[in-house]
Each structure stands twice: as structure tokens, then as C-alpha cells.
Amino acid sequence: MANNDLILGQSHSLALGQNQTLVLGHNHNLGLTQNHDLDLGTGHDHHLGLGQAHDHDLGLGHTHDHELDLGHNHDQEGDVGHGYRHDNNLTTDQKPDHDDHGLALSENNELVVSESQELDDNLELAVVDNQEMGIDPARDLQQSRVLVSLPPVLQVRNSNPSYELAVGQEFPDVKSCRRALRDTAIALRFEMQTIKSDKTRFTAKCASEGCPWRVHAAKLPGVPTFTIRTIHETHTCGGLYHLGHQQASVQWVAHSVEQRLRENPNYKPKEILEEIHRVHGITLSYKQAWRGKERIMAAMRGTFEEGYRLLPRYCEQIKRTNPGSIASVYGNPTDSCFQRLFISFQASIYGFLNACRPLLGLDRTFLKSKYNGTLLLATGFDGDGALFPLAFGVIDEESDDNWMWFLSELHTLLEINTENMPRLTILSDRQKGIVDGVEANFPTAFHGFCMRHLSESFQKEFNNTMLVNLLWEAAHALTVIEFEAKILEIEEISQDAAYWIRRIPPRLWATAYFEGTRFGHLTANIVESLNSWLLEASGLPIIQMMECIRRQLMTWFNERRETSMQWTSILVPSAERCVAEAIECARTYQVLRANEAEFEVISQEGTNIVDIRNRCCLCRGWQLYGLPCAHAVAALLSCRQNVNRFTESCFTVATYRKAYSQTIHPIPDKSLWKELPEGDPNANKSLEAIINPPKSLKPPGRPRKKRVRAEDRGRTKRVVHCSRCNQTGHFRTTCAAPI
């Protein structure tokens, strides 16, 4: 038949031993169901696997309408049995041993099909345990009968002097006795069945039926020591007929890899499986390895539930070891379930208020731990442009109320630490909860869009790289004229894109219209910048997560403080480079002086007016970035002024050192937290508070990798149109409408 079907009858079988591998060359598959013999058609002189003289598939010629048919009642069935080891393969031999190009067994007990034979690509081979394969050919193959029978896998018992047991052998306690016997069973390839096990005795035997091996251990009087009293005979069993082991429990896995996990907590379950197979020769499931790792990690870092329970003590330790820091935790009044946590270290508060730019970025990332939750971040920027984390909040769920609470805590933090709180510029994705919180707590702040959020939404809507690049160029444009020119370029490509952009007020995102000072920072970019270590930390218990954050901050403060001590310039490196580039450009400019403060600077791009008294230039670069632009530098050099004196103070090395002058101190181990601070009655009251885990567990399945933008929620999606059927809802490439 043309499509070379493979038909299986009812009373035929194909059997391979447990865990046998069956491989066909040339990426062909052969499909058999349960209890079927393999029977060739009766009309032609075909072998299974025809020679080069025949242009046929598996017993099927392209020019013959034959089926490979397994009938219900066949007279011939071969019973040639062959023993297989557990890793035998069904493979293609390129040099067949016989002339008829048939199906044969090689010296390695492998089922061999000659190279010249072709197998239909649509044929599949499904091997089922405890089945047999019989071949009953037609007239010319009635004498050729093959039966392949594979015994189960055998783990042969071996001898290991390190694990030999002896009468009188002692163990510190019953647990050590059980552990030693378990390790012996695994090492010597036999399974053990416990008969009796209590505080005074332990009796076990070999699990193989008929094997007389038996061991009995008992407790010595007056001490917890256990000793082996009797060992009956030796093993008569051959070993295990599978690749696993009954004694290889989750606890055994945890004990086996404990040292490795303590050295490398990132040790993966897959690597655990590979090591156990390499060292012990047994195969376990991925779940066993994962559970074993989780058990050790829970012992090392504590459970998720314990983390919430110890939060009040942890907050007290932060305030005790880092005076001036803010750390508070809140639970639900009705059931004491965790709701909110706010932490800000005194070193961060001091550095932000005294040395950083008055610019804050707000962002969040979802926790990847056992319980649902969201980590909120408020981050500033130091003089060299690096992130300067100020405050962290953990909430049970993201909501408008929780954002209002976080910004209220942030306002209190800044208000109590300075009499004249700076007028902030805040960047975020401007979702409703953040907008309301900023207006309520920072009414004088300039609140703008983080361009990363805006560009991602724009990219998702129009999926055009050229349009996205023009959007960024419009955002960076310093003047209104430059901004409008970029919008016109977008409009020439897509009027819909231009309309989408114009719906968002430019004063919220475009540099040319933005009223605040962003110092060139159009994005908060917090989570992406911290993603390398924050992603790992977000999957830990809550105290471990906050400790990971604290240690990272402590390391940053120390490293940046030591690095800045080696700087010999007046400005930080990034500002030094910008000024050097401006000086290089200014060499070609012509400067005309109007009075002691006002200058006219002529360049190839045009003419700009510079006022060095008010530190402004018509190009707006000086005002927006805080560093003299090339026009300002040309004016300053013409009157022999020191350019460095006309930069914002946050760009100086002295101010940078002040940002990291304070230290974030370590926190003692949780085993020492039971000591109560003396003379602090409020501490005792807070330590008595009980915080339970949130009610909402993390849902099953792989977590979402890409966050849903706030501005995407509830917005009507763009309607797509099919150019083939003239309908909406799909594209031409996916159109299935009949034309």
C-alpha cells in the first residue's frame, strides 16, 4: 500500500527488560502496541530489512500494495531467546553478518538491521515492559523466527570492605545505627526490610525473597550506644533488578549532598542526581533530589514560616546594630498574618540626604518564594550615576493602599531626618496607587514616567524598532523644537504611533517639557540593574532575602568608599569624562562676551547664549544635567574660570565620599536574638508580637518572567486586520478562512 501502514494484531507481544534502550538508526521509529507479534505479508519474497536490490520500506515495496499485517492466528512463532544486559541498544549495523539482509543478533546481543534497509519515517516503536517480540514471516521466511526477550536490569551485589558489618560493631545511638545499615545496603546493592525498630533494638533482613541475610542490633544498658548482636548468614540474592534503591530516601539524599550544598547553595537538583549516580550507581527521581536539597536549605537558612515568625526580632536587631535605621513590621490585627515590612538603613538615609541627587526611582518585583508577596524599592543615584538604594518594603500583595503606606513611610523617613526636605523628582511607571501616594505625601515633587516602562508599552503596541528609537530620541531632546521634529518623524511613519504618544502629556516624560531635574536619568531601571542578585534573593525566606540585600549594600558601601579614596581628581570619573569631552568640543567655538556674566557662543550648530552667573545655557544642557555644556565650558575658559567650580556639588569626589561615609553593620546570627536589649520596654512588647505567614501561597506552575506594565492594565488592545479575508482579529499568516 502507498503509505506503508503497520498493522498489529491482537495476540502478539513485544517485550524488553525493564529500562532497556531501543535505538533505530537513521532516526526511524517502529511502533508496536502491547501483545503483538511481527508478521510479514504473504504475497512476496520479502525479508525484514530488505537488501539493496529491493526498493522497499520495512517489508513493504513502493510498487506493491502490501501491508505488514499481524493476524490473529499464525502457525509459526520463533522462540530464540537472548539475554540482554541493561544498556543494550537496538541499533543499525553498517556491516551485516549475513547475506539475506535480515534481522539478526550481533555479538553484543544487539538487534541489528543492515544499513541498506529503509524504515518509514512515520513508523514508531513503543516498547512495553514484560512483552515479547515474535516474527512470523510469509512463505519464504517460515523457517526464520526471532524472539527477543530481555531480562530486567540487574545491579550485581558487590563487596566493599568499608561497609562490611561485624558482630560487636558499635554506634553512638539508634539513628547512627540505622544510618550505617542504610548506607551499607546502598553500597552493597541490596535492599533492607525493617522488622523491628524502637529505642532499644533494631532488626532488619534482606528484602529479596528467600535471602537468609538478617541483622539484629540492640542498645547497651545505661548508655545510648547500639551494638550489632547477630548477623545471620550471607546473601544468596544476586542483587537488585532495578536502577533505584528503597533505602535511598529524601533524608539520605540530603545527608549525601549536605556538605556540597553548604559550600555551594546554588547546587542544582540535576547536578545532585548526576553525582549520586556517579558515586553510588543508583538513579533517583528529580523530585527526590529537589526535596533533599530543600531539606538541607531549610536547615541552613530556616523555613519560610520561621522567617515570618522571627520578623519582629529581626527588626529589633536592625535598629540595635544600626542605630538610626528604620525597621517595622505589621500584621493583620485579626489573624496576625503578615502584611507589611519597611526597612531603611541609617547609612543609606544619611548618604541620600547629604550627598545624592534629589532624585528617586520607585519600582517593585514579585517574590518567588513559597508565599506570595511583592518587594518595593525606593532608590536614589550617587554622583557617579550608580544606584543608591534608600528603602525597601515587602507587602503581601500589590495594591493602592500598600503603595500609599510605603510612600507615607518614605515621607516620614525623610521628614524626621532633615528640616528642609529637598524638592524631589520621582520616576515610576505612574500607576494609580503610586500617583495617589506621591500626590498625598510629596505634593511638591515632580513625578515623571520611567521611560523604560513607557518604551516597553510602546514596543508592545507597535513592535517597530525604528519607532521605539525615535521615541527615545524625542525623550532625550533638550528643546521643544527638537522634540517636535522627532514626533513629526514618527507621524510620517505611523499616525497611530504619533497619536499614541501625544495622548501622554510630554511634561511627564519628555526632557524638553519635564519641569523637574533628572540629571539625564530617564529611567529608574532599578530591578533590571539589581537583577543579577535580587532575582536569587527574592526566592529565599523573607529574613534571608533581607539579609541578602543588607549584605549587598554593606559590600557596596565598603567597596565604593575604598575606591573613592584612590581618586585624585576633583570630580567623579563619569563627570570628569563629560567635562573633558565638553572641553574638547569647546576648542572650536567662538566666544563673544557681553558683560561679566553673559556670553554669546558661536558654533557650527548655531549660536547659544550662556549666563555663567545663573548657570544656564540656551541649549538647556547645563540646567538639565548639572554639568557645564560645551558652550558653557567655552565661555568659562574664555574668562579663565575653573570649570570644576561650576558643577553641581553632587559630582565632586568629596561629596561622593560623604555618600558612603557611614557603615552598614552586620547582624548577629538568629541563635543570638533571644538576648533582649536592656532598658527598652518597647522592645519587649514588639518581640512578643506574632507574625504568621500570608494566607496566599504561591500558585503552582512556572512564574511569569515578564511583568505586566501598569499602563497596560485595562487598556483596549489594538485591533489587528487580515489582508487576506478582510476580517479582524488575526493576521494573514494565521488566516484559515476559505477564499
pLDDT of 94 strictly over 70: no
Tell me the C-alpha distance between 85 and 513, whole Å.
77
Residues 425-481: tens digit of each pLDDT: 999 888 889 999 999 999 989 998 888 888 888 988 888 889 999 999 999 998 899
What is the DSSP secondary structure assignment for residue 543, as one 8-state letter?
H
Tell me which of 286, 301, 316 is where a domain ends.
301
Give me the residues paired with residue 359 across strands. Answer: 425
- 405 inside domain: yes
Do 439 and 336 share a structural domain? Answer: yes
**What integer best gives the mean pLDDT of the chain?**
75
Q: What backbone torsions phi and psi does residue 111 show, to the nearest 5 degrees?
A: -80, 115
> Quick one: 469 and 582 in the same domain?
no
In a 13 Å sphere around the CA of 189, the CA atoms on its Cβ side amount to 21
484 vs 287, higher pLDDT: 484
Provide the pLDDT for residue 449. Answer: 86
pTM, two decimal places: 0.63
Confidence band, pLDDT 50/70/90 cuts, at residue 276: confident
Q: Same structural domain for residues 422 and 549?
A: yes
| 394: helix, strand or coil | strand
Q: State yes or no: pLDDT of 289 exceeds 50.
A: yes
- Judge whether residue 245 has pLDDT over 50: yes
pLDDT at 295: 76
Spatial CB neighbours of 357, under 8 Å, sequence gap ≥ 6: 380, 381, 382, 383, 517, 519, 626, 648, 650
Number of domains in the chain: 5
pLDDT digits (tens, 9 = 90+) for 376-424: 999 999 999 888 999 999 998 889 999 999 999 999 988 877 666 678 8
Residues 589 and 577 in one domain: yes
Q: What percent of the chain has pLDDT over 70?
A: 71
Of 102-116, 321-335, 498-512, the range with the lowest mean pLDDT is 102-116
Q: Do residue 429 and residue 351 come from a single domain?
A: yes
Of 424, 431, 428, 430, whose CA–CA distance to 446 is shortest? 424
Classify residue 586: in a domain, yes or no.
yes
Among the ranges given (51-60, 466-475, 500-509), the one the predictor scored with the smallest mean pLDDT: 51-60
Instruction: Identify which has the larger pLDDT, 49 or 578.
Output: 578
Q: Range with the lowest mean pLDDT among 160-164, 678-682, 716-720? A: 678-682
- Asked if residue 396 belongs to a domain, the reply is yes
Q: Is the pLDDT of residue 277 over 70?
A: yes
Nearest to 407 by CA among 426, 420, 385: 426
Would 127 be classed as within a structural domain?
no
- Residue 43 lies inside a defined structural domain of this protein: no
Distances 303 to 297, 298, 309, 666 between C-alpha atoms, Å? 8, 5, 10, 22
User: Which of 227-241, 397-411, 722-736: highest mean pLDDT?
Assistant: 397-411
- Three-state DSSP string of 380-392: EECCCCCEEEEEE
Which cell goes with 269? Answer: 537538583
State yes or no: pLDDT of 704 exceeds 70: no
Lowest mean pLDDT among 132-146, 441-455, 566-580: 132-146
Residue 310 within a domain:
yes
Are residues 277 and 344 located together in one domain of the fold?
A: no
pLDDT attached to residue 390: 93
- Pair 286, 372 in one domain: no
CA within 13 Å, CB half, 307: 23
Look at residue 698 in the predicted model and tell me its pLDDT: 61
Q: List CB contacts of 65: < 8 A, sequence separation 6 or more.
A: 1, 2
pLDDT > 90: what percent of the chain? 30
Angle between helix axes 451-462 and 465-476 (nearest 10 degrees) is 150
At residue 688, the pLDDT reads 59
Q: To which H or E segment does residue 286 belong? A: helix 286-301
Q: Please answer whether residues 15 and 39 qualify as being in contact, where contact means their C-beta atoms are separated by less than 8 angstroms.
A: no
Sequence-separated (6 or more) residues with CB below 8 Å from residue 697 = 370, 371, 372
* 710 has a pLDDT exceeding 50: no
Helix pair 346-355, 542-564: axis angle to 10 deg = 40
Q: Which residue has the cell 536539597?
A: 293
Domain containing residue 185:
169-232
pLDDT at 699: 58
- The residue from 282, 301, 320 where one domain ends is 301
Over the stretch 577-615, which tens digit does the pLDDT of each residue have?
A: 999 999 999 989 999 999 988 999 998 888 999 999 999
For residue 108, what pLDDT is reported? 40
Based on the domain organization, do 220 and 343 belong to the same domain? no
In a domain, 661, yes or no: no
By C-alpha distance, which of 105, 111, 70, 71 is closest to 90? 111
**547 and 427 share one domain:** yes
Predicted confidence (pLDDT) per residue in 342-388, tens digit:
999 999 999 999 899 889 999 888 888 888 899 999 999 999 988 89
Question: Residue 525 above 50 pLDDT?
Answer: yes
- Asked whether residue 338 falls in the same domain as residue 396, the answer is yes
From the number of C-beta atoms within 10 Å of its C-beta (0-12, 13-18, 19+), residue 555 rates as exposed
**Residue 626: left (phi > 0), alpha (psi -120 to 50), or beta?**
left
- pLDDT digit string (tens) for 10-43? 434 333 444 444 343 444 443 333 334 434 343 4
**274 in the same domain as 177:** no
Rounded Cα distance, 325 and 322, in Å: 6
**Domain endpoint, select from 498, 515, 532:** 515
Which pLDDT does position 578 carry in this prediction? 92
Same-domain check for residues 527 and 391: yes
Give pLDDT tens digits for 144-190. Answer: 444 444 455 556 556 666 677 888 888 888 888 888 888 888 888 78
Give the pLDDT of residue 154: 54
Burial class (CB in 10 A: 0-12, 13-18, 19+), 145: middle
Least confident of 146-155, 183-192, 514-523, 720-729: 146-155
CA dist 239 and 191 (Å) reads 9
Give the bridge partners for 327, in sequence order.
343
In angstroms, rounded to a whole number, what is the distance separating the alpha carbons of residues 327 and 394?
Answer: 11
Does some domain include residue 256?
Answer: yes
